[in-house]
Amino acid sequence: MSDKTPNGTNKRKKPTPSPTPRPGVQLWVLAGLLVFMFGVMFVSNINQPAKINQQKFEQMLAAGDVGKITLVNEKEVDLSLTPAALAKSQYATELVRKSPFGVSGDAHFYFPIVDAKLFQENLDQLQKATPLPQRLALNIESREGLSDFIGKWGLLALLVVGFIFMMKRMGGAGGPGGQIFSIGKSRAALFEGGDKVKITFKDVAGLEEAKEEVQEIVEFLKNPSKFTVLGGKIPKGALLVGPPGTGKTLLAKAVAGEADVPFFSLSGSDFVEMFVGVGAARVRDLFKQAKAKAPCIIFIDEIDAVGRSRSKGNMPGGNDERENTLNSLLVEMDGFGTDSGVIILAATNRPDTLDSALLRPGRFDRQISIDKPDINGRTQIFQVHLKPLTLGPDVDARKLSAQTPGFAGAEIANVCNEAALIAARRDKKFITNQDFTDAIDRVIGGLEKKNKIISPSEKRIVAYHEAGHAIVGWFLEHCDPLVKVSIVPRGVAALGYAQYLPKEQFLYNTEQLIDEMCMALGGRAAEELVFGKISTGALSDLERITKMAYSIVTMYGMNSKLGNVSYYDSKGQNEYGFSKPYSEATSQMIDEEVRTIIEQAYVRTKELLNERRHELEVIAKELLEKEVLLQDDLERLVGKRPYGGQTNYQAHMAGTDRSETAGELINEHAGTTIGSDLPDLHLPGLDTGNGPSEAAAPSGSAVAGV
């Protein structure tokens, strides 16, 4: 996405980490510490006694200059001079050097000794030997010398400095100046004032229902009294639910932009830190800041990072920190009134994993679902993202949207940007349709591997494999018709791919599922039929088929032997309390049934391909020659598909879907699956509305192996 998109939303970029508090605090502390340490060193240097040796001491003692002898810490001897001695010139230089202020009152000399006892005996003998006016007593003191002081506190200071440094490193991103004082502060990026969100609803294409739902929130933020006057209650939070890249962040920003209020944006994972209690502190801080800026919006992306359900089976203490964070989020949400003007929007693509407490009334009691756009939605999104580009006359948003079934908004934005880059690389003055086509291929399948060397025999296998998929899909009633099949190697793993137009459908019956399985098996069956041997190329097909078969038996209760049971655990909480809620005998039966289903599908697929052997050959030969075939080519080569009238797709291309009923045509075809990317069989249940996560709309960006 170029930065010049109309909505300019690069949500990964956090413009203002503004609420980070007074970044300089810890710097001041550091500076203070340093000044203090230098001060101590300076002062101690002034008052340091001059060092002498034993011999000099004996001379001084003999001369009667020593006024006082002190044994300090049994390690050194400190000498004070007599007043008379202070006047002597021989000590003057010493004293002046030591005392810049000319203070000479209690000048000291010292010398180190090895053994205190020995020194005492020595001193006694020395004094006896010398005729002195009076015998000096030995004072014994234990003193905390300045050097000791520095040694001790310096070490501590060093530790403190080191600690600050470490916290800084660990805290990661954030404001300037480290984290030790801001670790419990929220990491939300705040958009207000100059940085204010400028995105409005017109930057959000499609998503009409969702916009209508959030419109109410906008109204409330603009004019709260209108609602509260009647005693009504505005929801405190709404959950935006949908697959990645569908514009959840964009919509949340648009709400802020429309209502012209500050926008706090952060991700659920921003709460998570290695220290216990930090997450909770950040939640509290976030709400404190938000209340100060009310009316405003808090947007929490990927709330599942903190909001995952507090499962029973947890090890004690296992996820305490996350639970604390979640609890404090719940408490904060309960703690402010609906009239406080703070509205929380959160985004997730796994609403089923969220803790049910989060979804209770008074919290995120509204779920706004944001789905992948249908063909009309995609047209509108293309229109938004095409606007800033310099386009050739042959670029048409409708055509592009027909070529991109299953794409989410983010992918469309990506296609537009790619196309611009490709055109620039080709030194063009404007972007043409060809650039877009190449960009779409690139987004779907990764880079075209022009120089990837495939032996002719391998290429033949790939061609027949893909042709097998295409033929089976064409002649089975419940399969999705093909859009495009290609044997141009792309990306890391894909040697070829086939792209289909799936029905937008939420409930599947057994026949439909079996047909889909047959289509996935078409590749391998064709290989076996044509070459008499099979290759590893069917890996991803088989993976999908196996998953489908297991879901038929264990999740959807569609197998007559096992009956209407489902071992699906929607909450992922292992509610049965043991790993497998069925017996050994049952698991054997499951395995057998799965194998039977797949075997039957395989036999059926081979039969079909045998019947259509001629068509298979035609398609494969054409593929080898042209490498890419589109739906029209297929029609030309093997005739019209025997099933289905005009699809939504065809209607769209013919321009007849602009009628009032456009919205109702949705049941036909829209969206895509690529590489026989069959519906994941994670279909929402009918009655919970909160089914398994991967919605029915199959993902458009997967690429099958061969």
Ligand X SMILES: Nc1ncnc2c1ncn2[C@@H]1O[C@H](COP(=O)(O)OP(=O)(O)OP(=O)(O)O)[C@@H](O)[C@H]1O
**Which of positions 188-227 make contact with ligand X (CB under 6 A)?**
204-207
The one segment of 405-413, 438-446, 590-598, 646-654 that binds ligand X by CB under 6 A: 405-413
Active-site entry in 466, 516, 528, 622: 466
Compute the least distance from the CB of residue 488 to ligand X, in Å: 27
Tell me which residues in 5-64 interact with ligand X (CB under 6 A).
Answer: 5, 7, 9, 11
Least Cβ distance, residue 700 to ligand X (angstroms): 14
Say whether residue 699 binds ligand X (CB under 6 A).
no
**Which of the listed partners (Zn ion, ligand X, none) does 5 bind, with a CB threshold of 5 to 8 Å by partner kind?**
ligand X
Residue 523, contacted partner among Zn ion, ligand X, none, CB below 5-8 A by kind: Zn ion
Residue 347 near ligand X by CB under 6 A: yes
Contact between 351 and ligand X by CB under 6 A: the answer reads no
In the set 217, 329, 381, 520, which binds ligand X (CB under 6 A)? 381
At 28, is the secondary structure helix, strand, or coil? Answer: helix
User: At closest approach, how far in Å is the CB of 5 from ligand X?
Assistant: 5
Pair of tokens at residue 421 = 């880059």
Query: For the chain, first and last CA: distance in Å?
Result: 30
Burial class (CB in 10 A: 0-12, 13-18, 19+), 661: exposed
CB-based contacts of 276: which residues, under 8 Å, 6+ apart?
A: 320, 321, 324
- Measured at the CA of 339, the angle between CA 336 and CA 342, to 5 degrees, comes to 65
Specify the residue, 174 or 496, whose C-beta has the smaller distance to Zn ion: 496
CB atoms within 10 A of CB 498: 29
Task: For residue 344, give the 3-state DSSP assignment.
Answer: strand
Tokens in use for 646? 């005009």
What x-and-dash track marks residues 527-556 binding Zn ion by CB under 5 A?
Answer: --------------x---------------
Site residues for Zn ion, window 570-589 (CB under 5 A)?
A: none
Q: How many angstroms separate the CA atoms of 152 and 143, rounded?
A: 14
- Between 622 and 677, CB nearer to Zn ion: 677
Judge whether 473 is annotated as a binding position: no
Provide the 10 A C-beta neighbour count for residue 88. 12
For residues 217 and 608, which CB has a smaller minimum distance to Zn ion in the complex?
608
CB distance 265 to 299 below 8 Å: yes
Residue 468 makes contact with Zn ion by CB under 5 A = no
Nearest to 283 by CA among 236, 241, 353, 344: 344
Q: Binds 541, which of Zn ion, ligand X, none (CB < 5 to 8 A, cut-off by type)?
A: Zn ion
Would you count residue 1 as binding ligand X (CB under 6 A)? Answer: yes
Helix or strand or coil: residue 396? coil
Task: Please name the residues in contact with 658: beta carbons below 8 A apart, sequence gap of 6 or more.
Answer: none
Binding piece for ligand X, criterion CB under 6 A, among 244-252, 284-292, 462-470, 609-617: 244-252
Out of Zn ion, ligand X, none, what residue 179 binds, judged by CB under 5 to 8 A for its kind, is: none
Instruction: State yes or no: residue 679 binds Zn ion (CB under 5 A).
Output: no
Place of tokens 């009239």: 339
Q: DSSP H helical segments within 566-642, as ranges? A: 584-611, 613-626, 631-638
Rounded to a whole number of angstroms, the minimum distance from the CB of residue 639 to ligand X is: 39
Binding ligand X by CB under 6 A: which of 249, 404, 551, 672? 249
Sheet with 66-72, side-by-side order of all strands: 50-51, 108-112, 76-81, 66-72, 138-141
Active site residue 209: no
Q: Does 411 bind Zn ion (CB under 5 A)?
A: no
Site membership for Zn ion, residue 523 (CB under 5 A)? yes
CA gap 261, 196 in Å, rounded: 8
* Cα dihedral: 521, 526, 531, 533 (round 10): 10
Query: What Å distances lie between residue 170 and 159, 176, 518, CA to CA?
Result: 16, 13, 53
**Does the protein bind Zn ion through residue 489 (CB under 5 A)?**
no
Is 372 annotated for ligand binding?
no
Residues assigned a catalytic role: 466
Sites of contact with ligand X (CB under 6 A): 1, 5, 7, 9, 11, 204-207, 244-250, 301, 347, 349, 381, 384, 409-410, 413
Binding site for Zn(2+): what residues are annotated? 465, 469, 541
Binding site: what residues are annotated? 242-249, 465, 469, 541
Sites of contact with Zn ion (CB under 5 A): 523, 541
